[in-house]
């Protein structure tokens, strides 16, 4: 018989779709959750409607989910702080919680990507702002809508300390949102970042109706690119075969709920990027991440032709048909 978990007092910072989904899931599991939105009008609407109409209208909010726009109130007394902003908002959120966070309170995040201009992974940003603190990242094959509706999902929790990861997996694991522990933070974060770029490429292939064979080839060769970069940055190869690597890659490249795949499908229509992002209405992390990853790969001498091709499209340097033709014309290689 599974031992009953002790309730965790948790601050979820960021009331987009993914932050809301995690807040719903953990509140439903019996934890004491406060969801923070930086916009008081948004927070007030969620309190009134018991629904995040702006980002996740399908899922009702639990009646005992606390919602606030006051950051200090959310963080005060928390056993765990979980940051679920886009990567562009991570540094600012860390700086904002620094004065009110208790020194021993772990900080986890579900941000994916490389920080713009610095090309730092999230754990490196955390170290720059808060120093060496107990911290970790949550990543894996997960659509917010399905998590919020209680559909079974499995993700990875990575901490520098495997003991810390294991401790919190035991505290947060539930039948509907299963967690697996690892100490390969680099591998988990690179997997979460690069899979969004490859999802854009998969969307282009699907938008051009290139077929399932092409999609399978793209995912497989994309996994090679992802693994090359991850290992170059210090990750372990086996991590890339797990939930945070292959698992997240397959989901994001094939699922209709993938925003990054949707970007690729619209690029296949040769629509301008600004128009695509306005139509999307949500953040597609693969767009800024692609540009930073391409620069990083070039500086490290890592071959990432699919990522480079996506960047040509995002920069408006080529049409989709030309980019696909260039990829198909690459010289044969040994696998």
End-to-end CA distance of the chain: 47
Give the chain's mean pLDDT: 94
Using one digit for the tens of pLDDT, what is the confidence trace for 284-294?
888 999 999 99
Looking at the predicted structure, is the pLDDT value of residue 334 above 70?
no
**For range 31-54, the mean pLDDT:** 98
DSSP assignment of 156-223 = EEEESSHHHHHHHHHHH--SSEEEEEES-HHHHHHHHHHHHHHHHHHHHHHHTT--HHHHHHHHHHHH
Looking at the predicted structure, is the pLDDT value of residue 332 above 80?
no
Other beta carbons within 10 angstroms of residue 151's beta carbon come to 12
pLDDT at 329: 73
Decide if 248 contacts 195 (C-beta within 8 A): yes
What token pair was written down for 45?
């609407």
Q: Does domain 9-183 have CATH number 3.40.50.10680?
A: no
pLDDT at 2: 44
Looking at the predicted structure, is the pLDDT value of residue 98 above 90?
yes
H helices of 241-329, where? 248-254, 259-267, 273-280, 286-300, 305-314, 320-328
Using one digit for the tens of pLDDT, what is the confidence trace for 192-236?
999 999 999 999 999 999 999 999 999 999 999 999 999 999 999
pLDDT at 227: 98
Confidence of residue 60 (pLDDT cuts 50, 70, 90): very high
Please report, for the chain, the start and end positions of each structural domain, with discontinuous segments joined by +.
9-183, 193-328
Residue with tokens 């990507």: 113
Looking at the predicted structure, is the pLDDT value of residue 8 above 80?
yes
Using one digit for the tens of pLDDT, what is the confidence trace for 132-190?
999 999 999 999 999 999 999 999 999 999 999 999 999 999 999 999 999 999 999 99
User: pTM of the full predicted structure?
Assistant: 0.94
What token pair was written down for 189?
């974060």
Among 195-204, 232-241, 310-319, which stretch is predicted with the lowest mean pLDDT?
A: 310-319
Q: For residue 9, list its beta bridge partners.
A: 32
Looking at the predicted structure, is the pLDDT value of residue 330 above 80?
no
pLDDT at 45: 98
pLDDT at 313: 92
Active-site amino acid positions: 195
CATH topology of domain 193-328: 1.10.1040
pLDDT at 326: 82
What token pair was written down for 262?
């949707």
Question: For 216, phi and psi rounded to 5 degrees?
Answer: -65, -40
- Taking the C-alpha atoms of residue 327 and residue 286, their distance in angstroms, rounded to an integer, is 20
Looking at the predicted structure, is the pLDDT value of residue 122 above 60?
yes
Looking at the predicted structure, is the pLDDT value of residue 50 above 50?
yes
């Amino acid at each position: 018989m599974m031992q009953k978990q002790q309730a965790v007092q948790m601050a979820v910072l960021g009331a987009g779709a993914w932050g809301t989904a995690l807040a719903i899931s953990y509140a439903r599991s019996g934890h004491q959750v406060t969801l923070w939105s930086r916009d008081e009008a948004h927070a007030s609407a969620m309190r009134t409607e018991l629904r995040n109409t702006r980002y996740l209208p399908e899922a009702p909010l639990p009646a005992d989910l606390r919602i606030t726009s006051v950051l200090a109130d959310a963080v005060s007394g928390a056993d765990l702080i979980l940051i679920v902003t886009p990567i562009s908002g991570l540094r600012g959120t860390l700086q904002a919680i620094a004065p009110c966070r208790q020194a021993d309170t772990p900080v986890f995040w579900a941000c994916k990507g490389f920080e713009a201009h610095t090309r730092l992974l999230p754990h490196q940003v955390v170290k720059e702002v808060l120093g060496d603190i107990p911290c970790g990242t949550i990543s894996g094959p997960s659509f917010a809508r399905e998590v919020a509706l209680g559909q079974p999902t499995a993700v990875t929790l990575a901490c520098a300390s495997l003991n810390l990861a294991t401790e919190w997996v035991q505290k947060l694991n539930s039948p509907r949102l299963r967690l697996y522990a690892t100490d390969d933070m680099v591998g988990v974060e690179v997997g979460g970042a690069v899979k969004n770029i490859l999802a854009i490429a998969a969307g282009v292939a699907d938008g051009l109706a290139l077929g399932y064979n092409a999609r399978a080839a793209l995912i497989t060769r994309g996994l090679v690119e992802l693994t090359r970069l991850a290992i170059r940055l210090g990750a372990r190869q086996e991590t890339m075969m797990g939930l945070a690597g292959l698992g997240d890659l397959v989901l994001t490249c094939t699922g209709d709920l993938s925003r990054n795949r949707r970007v690729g499908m619209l690029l296949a229509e040769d629509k301008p990027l600004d128009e695509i992002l306005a139509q999307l209405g949500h953040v597609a992390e693969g767009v800024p991440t692609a540009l930073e990853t391409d620069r990083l790969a070039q500086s490290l001498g890592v071959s990432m032709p699919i990522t480079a091709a996506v960047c040509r499209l995002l920069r408006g340097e080529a049409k989709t048909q030309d980019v696909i033709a260039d990829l198909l014309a690459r010289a044969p290689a040994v696998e």
